[in-house]
Amino acid sequence: MNRIPLRKRLLVRLVFASVLIAVCSVAATAWLAVATTTRALRQEQGQALADDMDILAELSGYAATHPEWKGVESVVRALSAKTGRRIALTTTDRVPIADSARRGTSLPPRAAATVDPLRTDTYTEHGAQLGGIDPRAVGPYRLTAAERDKLDRYAESQRNCYTRLGYDMTVTRIPSGRPLLTDDEGLLDSGYDTGMCRSDRLAVPTPTEQRALDALGKRARPCLNRVGIEGDAFFGLVVDVGDGSLAPPIIAKYAKIGGATVQRAAQTCIDDSRRAQLDPYVAPVAELFLGGGNDRATPRWNMSPANRAKVAGTAGLVLAVTVAVSAVVATRLVRPLRALTEAAQQPPDQHVRVPVTTRDETGILAEAFNDLAERRERLEAQRKALVADVAHELRSPLTNIRGWLEVTRDGLVDPDPELLGALHEEALLLQQVIDDLRDLAAADAGTLRLHREPVPADELLAQVAAAHRVAADAAGVALRTETEDAAWLDADPVRLRQALGNLVANAVRHTPKGGSVTLTARRDGADVVLGVADTGTGISAEDLPHVFERFWRAEKSRSRRTGGSGLGLNIVRHLVVAHGGTAEATSAPGAGSVFTLRLPAAAAPRDG
């Protein structure tokens, strides 16, 4: 550890990274909180104000077109669902009219607005007139169907006239039902008056409007007399289509009589009289309550010195906790890594293990290190055993050959054919061991050569059975083959005969006289399954996992002549793996053994 510079140690780097992340997180969080909160508050405040104006406009329009509040409940609930706010209407003495909240829910401490279409807030109400009367409150000025149809014909005729002259006009209808001709700038400008399309029919009040104007004059006359305007007053219609509304009638005859004071007083008389005239046609005054809206003070973000101190203190606390937690976590991470380093630096022949104290990534790493050490120890033991077994397997035939040659040289034995045959057999055994080792070395190095060709499974079994028929008959063992259907393999026939031959030779060797060895082949989906089953002595459960290991014998006392070299089954497994297949063994003591080779199937070759 002393060789590692301080700045490169894992503990230091972890703590530094944690502190840097904490500082960036605190700074980014503080900035994001300020920016997001400020923006959200502004948006919420603007949206709440817009919603309030829309709610007030909708309810004022309802009151302007209905003489009572009956039926407003559905409007209130629809507005509440649209804006997400509680909306309640009460009379001026707090008697409930409609409420979107559950029955029994208390009202906010104060009303948000008063809903009175005859006295509208001209600064917050959409489309309100300067007189403070909702333009949708038309009352007795509403035209009949016949009057609307007649004026519609006049308006359409005049619009067509202007269209022929190249002017684009639009017919606009005001709340009372009267149509008006407008252009892009609003009401029809006198500049369009060419004399050809001039018509006063649209400017003449209808009988309904005239009756309402006469009634208005009768109501306003006493007040006008009191402010100094004597005699009859002529009332006409003034239209403002900037917002599509009907402006209140004004005095035309006395428009320039008296000063500004008299004119303002006269206008007040007319407004009061018009409110009295419209009062029977509009709903009573109501109080509007908005839950969670104007009854609370607008939240604000205040980054005062006290708040800055709180943010700084919180940031410092977060940093302190981060450093402490990082130091603890880093120490716990570094401790097993140090143990792994010390274990890896020990001599290889000691195969040191490290204790596993956690179940996290470092614990898994420690387990992997221990498994690696265990595999190294096992491989070292296998290597030593392999060297000893190879030496033993080579020494036995060489010793026999040397002994016979020495006694022959000394003249103790004549070199007769029987002696030469024995020496030849020992040489063959030695050559087989060498060939087996060569095959294993090629398989381990991945250089085992295969000469693939289409191979019929039934012919392969027949060839293997024919090659071992004599040995099986000599041992008194019945050797037979069974094939279910035609199955083909894309394989090296020589190597497969070698693998199956090793299995059959082992089966015949371990099957008592009167037993049987069966070779089978069948198709299983995309595979061909080759099997060698015997009725021999079987393999114990503790020995079964080792049958494919090198130089393994179930009975250690057996020699090569009685128990084989211990390389045959290992060669079988390598040959099958080289063909892309698997080798398995199942057995029970006294019930025989079954060796199964599963290899990829191939399509039968076309007759050419």
pLDDT of residue 530: 92
Instruction: State phi, psi for 536 to the nearest 5 degrees.
Output: -85, -155
Does the CA dihedral 15-18-20-26 come out positive or negative?
negative
Low-confidence ranges of the chain (pLDDT < 50): 1, 122-125, 127-130, 189-191, 240-255, 293-301, 557-563, 608
For the chain, first and last CA: distance in Å? 74
3-state secondary structure of 534: strand
- Exposure string (b/e) for 471-500, b if CB count within 10 Å is 16 or more? ebeebebebebebeeebbbbbbbebbbbbb
* Tokens found for residue 101: 């909240």
Question: The domain 361-442: what is its CATH number?
Answer: 1.10.287.130
* 547 touches 585 (CB < 8 A): yes
Question: Measured between alpha carbons, how far is residue 585 from residues 41, 112, 541, 588 in Å?
Answer: 76, 89, 11, 10
Task: Walk across the sheet containing 186-187 and list its strands.
Answer: 170-173, 179-183, 186-187
Instruction: Tell me the CB-side half-sphere exposure of residue 445, using CA atoms within 13 A.
Output: 9
Question: Rounded CA gap, 330 and 311, in Å?
Answer: 28
pLDDT of residue 239: 52
pLDDT of residue 180: 82
Give 41-76 as a DSSP string.
HHHHHHHHHHHHHHHHHHHHHHHHH-SS-TTHHHHH
The residues near 351 (Cβ < 8 Å, ≥ 6 apart) are: 373, 374, 376, 377, 380
The residues near 410 (Cβ < 8 Å, ≥ 6 apart) are: none
| Helical residues (DSSP H) of 410-484, grouped into ranges | 417-445, 457-467, 469-474
Place of tokens 């508050």: 41
Question: Rounded CA gap, 78 and 86, in Å?
Answer: 11
Using only C-alpha atoms, what is the Rg of the chain?
A: 55
**Burial of 350 per CB tally in 10 Å (0-12, 13-18, 19+):** exposed
* Tokens found for residue 289: 């309550």
Question: Which of 329, 388, 326, 377 has its CA nearest to residue 351?
Answer: 377
pLDDT of residue 443: 67
pLDDT of residue 243: 46
* 580 touches 600 (CB < 8 A): yes
Under the phi-then-psi rule, with left for phi > 0, alpha for psi from -120 to 50, and beta for the rest, what region is 67?
A: alpha
Place of tokens 């595979």: 527
Partnered with residue 240 across adjacent β-strands are 245
Question: Rounded CA gap, 166 and 190, in Å?
Answer: 16
Domain locations along the chain:
1-114+287-345, 139-281, 361-442, 449-602
CATH T-level topology, domain 449-602: Heat Shock Protein 90 (3.30.565)
Question: Rounded CA gap, 289 and 108, in Å?
Answer: 7
For 175-249, strand residue ranges (E) read 179-183, 186-187, 235-236, 239-240, 245-246
* 105 touches 76 (CB < 8 A): no
pLDDT tens per residue across span 402-461:
887 887 888 777 778 877 777 777 777 677 667 767 776 776 666 667 788 888 988 999
pLDDT tens per residue across span 37-51:
766 666 666 666 777
* Tokens found for residue 546: 């080792």
pLDDT of residue 360: 63
Q: Decide: pTM greater than 0.85.
A: no
pLDDT of residue 385: 65
Quick count: other Cβ atoms within 10 Å of Cβ 301? 14
* 197 touches 211 (CB < 8 A): no
pLDDT of residue 260: 77
